[in-house]
Amino acid sequence: MLGGGQMSEVVMQISNVSKVFPSREKKEGFTAVNSISIDLIKGEVLGVVGESGSGKSTLARCAFGITAPTSGSITILGQDLAGKSRRSTRELRSNLGFVFQDPAGSINPRMNVRNAIAEPLLLAGQSVQEIDKRVAFLMDRVGLATSQLNRKSHELSGGQCQRVAIARALATNPQIVLLDEPTSSLDLSVQAQILNLLEELRRDFNLTYFLISHNLDVVSHLSDRVAVMRDGVFVETGITTKVINDPQHPFTRELIRAYSGVHKSDGVLPAGFHLDDWQDGPLNRWAFQNIDSFLPVARIEASQSPIDLPVSIDPAIDTLEIEASGNTYTLPELVNDLDTDAIVVVRKGVVVYEKYFNSMVPESLHLLQSVSKSILGALFAIMADRGVIDINKKISHYLPELLGSAYTDATIAQALDMSVAVNFSEDYLDPESEMTRLDRAAGWRSNSTGRDLGLRSFLKTLTASGEHGKAYQYCSANTDVLAWLISDVTGMSYQDLLTRELWQPMGAGSDASVILDSQGLSVGNGGISCTARDLALFGQLILGEGRAQGRQIIPVQWIRETFAGASPDVISADYLQALHPGGSYKNQWWITASQSQEIFGVGIYGQYVWVDPTSQTVIAKFSSLPVPVDPVHSRKHMALFRAICGVTISK
């Protein structure tokens, strides 16, 4: 990195730049960037770091002339980009290079490597001989062989695609290069190679980098200065080492906790740990309680006035004998048979049963898997009730990025009810299924395919399989689309929305967390971890028709519609009817349609929140079953829950 004496020539000056987008919620619009001022010094790397939705990418787009700011000015190499002629603009932009976060997506799939790198030179009017000479030089400098010139992006690895993108960015010999999450979609070993290459190129070509990242590890490795961004403003700026080692702002400290050192040394991981195996037993007993040891997470903040449910343990529950799958179990035997990590039973607002296993304690966080979907459903109820979103509108109305995908004509309501017709296999064990691709995109599996680089990249590839709204089809991708949508519409990160609208209002006693993908987008379909007590508290909120701490948090009508189930016109699935005759799926909840009218959220490997309005009982259960889905385990869980609720009915 450069010494302070060398940093003197300003190559980019950002002065009081703001960017306001139209908003249906606010007449004044949504402010993505708010009066930002900063200088970029020749030869340095300026890292702008922040969560998804913080405004960092919008700032970069304004700074490099991709998007016009609402107010303020940007000067590049002494020239103001605004108001210049096309020729002058073209000459100025030849001094700018761009490296984006999705290497395969930033290369025209119809072009081979040679033509992808040559395109900026061709537009600049260079001859074929000049172009071929420059392309050969750049191929060598970024570590690619000339034998790869005729290959297309799908024939390259993710790291090779990013090297092509870097060569293309340097084609016109620019002075300033925008690096937009340049390594976030790559495997760890490849990330290190690309970071080292970028450092080498900066030194050799005297480049200046404007780095956008959500990961402070990358920023600390590459940048000289860092600006920490939140809600459109810089909350802290300074020399990178000083900011990392002595952060002054609470948000900077939180970022460091969430992102720095996510990939810890092998010494803190169990023997044999591999990213492709952590969800399977027996490794999941450790992994589900230690997600932040190997995946990036963001915090969902607890309430400052938490609800402390009263406790009156009912000894009769442990004496139950339960018939399940042709066998008779005592309750402790069945709890053990179902690989239980924690179970909390709340009857009429009182904790009557609470047990922890496998090193769990009441304060332990545990991954919810798809119980996270039910929490998202409640958040959408709140935002729809306020008019922030209209669930009957098409998803593409709010996310035009999904035009041309399966979600072009699908509505938010159809995604909530899992009636989007999409080519998607939810097979958790098939390495080629769309579910496995979704896991790779979310960062839950290793990914050396060069595709599905982050959730947004993957979700855009899904295609429709028929008419939406006609049949139930469980698809985890729908929930990730919804988490993306609500963050985009509100301009807030998903974790901050959950904190503000649900976790704190309901009186959660502990911080929760949510997993982030490589671009900092929350994994809505299954990424939340929380305590068993707080999951039970969430179930109690549903049981209480959305009311807690003297206020209506979730609209009553939405909860009643959820208990009523899906429209009978929606064709159900055989496996759902076999387990719950007449049952359905509504608003990200499973509806049993039984006499007791239970609804529940469920996640693979045995995660549950069970809500029984007849007995006024809520059950939260964490498990680490050895396989993701098994009808025998499902039936045993139903028998366990109904036996417990049968005890409560008699009380």
> For the segment 30-39, what is each residue's pLDDT rounded down to a tens digit?
899 999 999 9
Instruction: Say yes or no: 359 and 232 in one domain.
Output: no
Residues 6+ apart with CB under 8 A from 446: 187, 274, 275, 276, 440
Predicted pLDDT of residue 88: 64
Choose the weakest-confidence range: 150-164, 234-248, 252-266, 445-459: 252-266
Mean pLDDT, residues 392-416:
97
CA 423 to chain centre: 21
Is 429 part of any domain?
yes
Is 531 part of any domain?
yes
Give ∠ CA 203-50-405 in degrees, rounded to 5.
100
d(CA 184, CA 215): 8
Predicted pLDDT of residue 83: 64
d(CA 226, CA 45): 9
Domain that holds residue 574: 315-649
Is 510 part of any domain?
yes
Instruction: Say yes or no: 250 and 319 in one domain.
Output: no
Instruction: Say yes or no: 252 and 343 in one domain.
Output: no
3-state secondary structure 529-585: EECHHHHHHHHHHHHCCCEECCEECCCHHHHHHHHHCCCCCCECCHHHHHHCCCCEE
Using 50, 70 and 90 to split pLDDT, how confident is the model at 281? Answer: confident
The type of residue at 226 is: V
Instruction: Say yes or no: 235 and 338 in one domain.
Output: no
Using 50, 70 and 90 to split pLDDT, how confident is the model at 503? Answer: very high
Predicted pLDDT of residue 651: 40
Mean pLDDT, residues 438-454:
88
Using 50, 70 and 90 to split pLDDT, how confident is the model at 259? Answer: low
Is 164 part of any domain?
no
> What's the CATH number where 66 sits?
3.40.50.300
The type of residue at 72 is: G
d(CA 39, CA 406): 43
Instruction: Say yes or no: 235 and 377 in one domain.
Output: no
Question: Got the DSSP string for 51-115?
Answer: -TTSSHHHHHHHHTTSS--SEEEEEETTEESTT--HHHHHHHHTTEEEE-S-TTTTS-TTSBHHH
Q: Which residues are catalytic?
A: 370
The type of residue at 460 is: K
Is 3 part of any domain?
no
CA 27 to chain centre: 29
- The answer to whether residues 17 and 33 touch, using CB atoms and an 8 Å cutoff, is yes
Instruction: Say yes or no: 423 and 491 in one domain.
Output: yes
Is the bond preceding 282 in cis, omega lying within 30 degrees of 0?
Answer: yes
Is 502 part of any domain?
yes
The type of residue at 408 is: T
Higher pLDDT, 264 or 235: 235
Instruction: Say yes or no: 438 and 552 in one domain.
Output: yes
Mean pLDDT, residues 310-314:
95
> What's the CATH number where 639 sits?
3.40.710.10
d(CA 514, CA 503): 12
Predicted pLDDT of residue 364: 94
Instruction: Say yes or no: 334 and 221 in one domain.
Output: no
Q: Is the pLDDT confidence value at 240 over 60?
A: yes
Split into its structural domains, the chain has a count of 2
Is 195 part of any domain?
no
Is 191 part of any domain?
no
H/E segment holding residue 474: none
Instruction: Say yes or no: 375 and 486 in one domain.
Output: yes
Instruction: Say yes or no: 234 and 379 in one domain.
Output: no
Ramachandran region, residue 261 (left: φ > 0; alpha: ψ -120 to 50; beta: rest): left
- The answer to whether residues 360 and 622 touch, using CB atoms and an 8 Å cutoff, is yes
pLDDT tens for each residue of 551-585: 999 999 999 999 999 999 999 999 899 999 999 99
pLDDT tens for each residue of 601-622: 999 999 999 999 999 999 999 9
pLDDT tens for each residue of 156-191: 888 888 899 999 999 999 999 999 988 876 765 577
* Verdict on whether the full-model pTM lies above 0.85: no
